[in-house]
Structure 1
Amino acid sequence: MLEDPLVSHSPDLAEGEMYENGTEITYDCPEGWDFNGNMTAVCLYGVWTYENAFCTASPCDEPMLEDPLVSHSPDLAEGEMYENGTEITYDCPEGWDFNGNMTAVCLYGVWTYENAFCTASPCDEPAPLDDLVSHSPDFAEGEMYANGTEIMYDCPEGWDFNGNMTAVCLYGVWTYENAFCTASPCEDLAPAGELVERDPSDAGPFENGTEVVYSCPDGYDFNGDMTALCLYGNWTLDQEPYCTASPCGEPLPQDGLVSHNPESSSYPSGTEVTYACPNGYDLNGNMTAVCLYGMWTNEAVFCTASPCEDLAPAGELVERDPMMRTLHHVVSHQSKMGWFLIILRLVLTNGTEVAYACPNGYDLNGNMTAVCLYGMWTNEAVFCTASPCEDLAPAGELVERDPSDAGPFENGTEVDYSCPDGYDFNGDMTAICLYGNWTLDQEPYCSDGLVSHNPETSSYPSGTEVTYACPNGYDLNGNMTAVCLYGMWTNEAVFCTASPCGDHPKDGLVSHNPEVVLIQVEPSNLYMSEWIRSQWKYDFSLSLWEWTNEAVFCTASPCEDLAPAGELVERDPSDAGPFENGTEVDYSCPDGYDFNGDMTAICLYGNWTLDQEPYCTASPCGEPLPQDGLVSHIPESSSYPNGTQVTYACPNGYDLNGNMTAVCLYGMWTNEAVFCTGE
């Protein structure tokens, strides 16, 4: 008799039938229930061996979900079973939405729901930092953006976008929402006429709200708006400003005798006036002046009667070419003593060019030529100075000089020679720089008191050869022998130095030559040749078999001298150096000169990188442009080198007004204000 009605058994006889002694039955429970107790019982002498079997509701295994992203709680350890009636709650990771029933219950070994799954979360409307930022596509209010949707940000006209241009909806979150708009700058310069100056004057772009103040250079009058404002990428401006050349007042020549034509109280820019002197006077200076930008091109005119009477001015030692003066006017005169000639003026004609030079041993200071133009020489500051000495005063290798700088040395500089401690001085004690050369009878040198010679005597016949030697532990530097020739020894510049060592510095950048320096010789015969000693690339002091210095290392060499360039070339930076490795120097020329060669040089490991050394040449002139189209000139060319002189002329029946010649000086003609008038 079983207490649990759920327990069944097999075989199961019909009601009223009896089980024979020895019959074995097997117990079982319905599906969803687990059997508890012995699975079998035997009929022994009218009693079943086991009747305590019963059924309990089956537990559940781990729920079997198709989507591995779905999690549940509680979540038992592996191998543990969920009791009948246990309820679990499903969930999805952040960025994923749950689909299906949120719960399931374990009923008799089966979960009531196992079809839950996760889908990627959509996104709400993006929220950039700036309300001005728009995006596309733009869904209607309340609509969601599916996972993976890409939008593109933009800003209104006049505003610049800042940040990533796109964002993607990934699991409910936009990949980028930090976009914002800023007012657009003005990329171009504030509009203005060609000569108008701007403040600030940089090339832009200009931030929104920047105000530019306009002005004109000296000699120009301002017209139009004084300021412009950058607003959202455009300049606010009513009238674009421009500059017009300023007019001139009455010309004021320095001499009250000079008159001018036409006469007025105000002259527009470009107006030309003609100067004149009373009868009996010559006009000195240009006959015309032009009003250019509020200033007269020439007011330095006066009345005299003289051309260039004197030699081209120069210092006492300066030589001139040509030296000849032209006889300008000779008259005769009678007195009570008889007839004689009076030379009134010896002059150099207008346009004469004189070349300057100095004697040997002197340098010329000032321009090398002067031109007589309308009674005045174009150059007066010319003189000769004694030439300096460019090189060091000559001396042996160890000799010290005072002063010790590298030169050049002014004329008259006296250099004193000396030797280091432990060396004997030989030769002249001083040298003087005279007109570019050093005065010296015997070039000085230093000798070492440690050096001995063989044979030794108080007097040596011409042709005698002696052999030099050093004490043990010292090396001889210089030739080992000397010969007495006609009262002079062929070699006395020898000295002793302590013998070297065999090791070398530990810094891999430091090189040495020769590579093998360990010399295996007896201490009594240590020797290191002058050539080996001279090849070492670092400083050291030697004591027998020990190095006093191994802490040496290499750094990139600076450039000690200025970047190479011609005489007039300007450098930036302009300091005297030394210059660190990697320094870049920019070259340029002064106004009136044309630049030739490389524009930059770079200091690399002690040398300047340069393909062509730059130099400046005086700018040539273009075709002269006299104010009158009737005026011709010779020679005729499309380009005129600096210093070229042209002569003006008029057709037959016309007179030339103005100077007959003009000179090209550094890209500008000295005179273009000439014109022709009919007879």
Structure 2
Amino acid sequence: MFLTVLLSLFTSALICRAAPTLENERCGKPGEKEGATLQGNWNAETYSPGTVATFTCVNGYIREGPIRMACIEGSWLDISRGQCKNIVCYKETVINGIVQYTKETYRDGETVTLTCNEGYQIEHNPEEPRTCTAHGWSPPLKCVSKKCIQPNLPNGYIRDPYRFPISPEAYYNYIYYYCDPGFLSPDRKYYGTTTCTKTGWNPEPKCYKKCAVPTSDSMYAIISYTTRSRIYIEGDKLRFQCYKDHMTSNGQISGEIECLPDGKFFGEKCSKIGQACGEPPVVQFGDITEIKQNSYRSGSSVTYKCANYYKLEGKEFITCRDGEWEKEPVCRGSCVLQQTVMALNNIYYDKSTEIENGLTIQFECMEGMVSENDLRATCGNTQINYPKCSAGRSCPPPKISNAILSPEKQDGYESGSSVDIKCEDIFVLSGHINVKCENGQWDELPQCLKPCTIIPNSLERNHIELLPSESAPDILEHGTELNVKCKANFKRPGSVIASCYDGVMKYPKCFSGGTCRILQSYLDENFLELDESHDNEVFYEEGETVSFKCKTGYRNRNGLTGTCTKSNRQPAEYILTYPYCEEESAV
């Protein structure tokens, strides 16, 4: 009734707008509304009858329904009763992850930090904090299983056409790799296998340098070989026993040598006691500071120095001990990044062009490109293996009903580009307002949720009616709640609210008699869930039958329905019977 009168007055005001306006029929500036601000210019002192004021929400608030007022007979009256509500985000439990919450609720723009358990990674933009928005946490609080990217394999290669990244749950979750000549896998073969697990590739795919095996005569010692094949790779060790009248430089008659990445065994060697040494070892990109001699007495030393732009690793000086020089140092050079090579590989590194020897850096793909392999690379004595990026597959225009795309392209979007999503009027966005194309795949697309209309037959069927003070618009946006009341001689426990959800009005139901309530604890005890046909209704009237279903992994022998019945006790109670589900293995 109120809405009819209000619209009648508003219509009359519009019809009469051309007639002379009495001063007492004009309105001043519209009043303020919580969390809202007026749209347009409102600098005049008074406004004529029929003027409509539209409000929009300020930051930190979200609009629920249109908010409009009209000037009618000197007063501003609501012609639609939308409102601006505080944007609030609540704590969520994250499967396989932990959120560092500091309070119970968060306002618009506030952030939290998400950490995923071992073997899991943050879905969507892991480097960004999770922010409270009008549509919930964005990006979402979600951890997903890690996938294995193509491994970086120095001194080796992957020949077969695998499709990376590979999931640990995939049926074929392993790969074969092959080593360059002179290198072997941990199994001492020219190839190796590795499996994708939640913690990465296991075992780590790697190609080790094969070492030339020394002979006993070259060592002046008896060597204890550990394998019949006498195939050794870096990290392997061999024990030896010096010949008679020989010992190592540190006075031992036995010792151990180790296979190093340069393909040579290193360690103390046996020599005849007091024997002189020949010329000191040659060091690439370095030399000794003294005048070189043909022979050096046991106990004498020489000092090494590297060329410019090279750095000495190891002992600066070495000593001749009983015919053997100590291990010479190495001169390592830094890597200078080549801009032309990076451009050809569609990568860049913007921190420095000179990389210290042994340092691992992370390259980045150029805009719109995706990596073909691991973007990390290590400088090894002036050499670095550049990763490669290539143009990713483009994405077709995202198909979102009732959405407006910006920019809108009919021929698709390049990999790396993004598009803003906005819903048409009266539709409500659910999800991210911006999505990105990555190698032919869009991020999770949002939805434009549909509005609802009130159906009189549905009100009648559920024994409810609108409140006299509630003005129901013809169209309700998704998420709008509408206060209703039970008809005469009907009742319902708790609040009586109808709501719009994606084009479907959800109506509460009122009852003429006693009611039973679904209890979650009883559902859990009996391993039950409510059947979808009941649309999560929690109240049922006397004599009504309720349908259930068993939880996953359980089944029932005797039927999945219950009935709301009245007990014989005084005062009367209403009891709902619950069926029972057993584990499938027990049935």
Q: Aligning the two structures, in what range does the TM-score lie when normalised by the shorter sequence?
A: under 0.3
Q: TM-score, normalised by structure 1?
A: 0.22
Q: Which gives a bigger RCO, structure 1 or 2 (Cα 8 Å, sep 6+)?
A: 2
Structure label with greater radius of gyration:
1
Higher helix fraction: Structure 1 or Structure 2? 2
Q: TM-score, normalised by structure 2?
A: 0.25
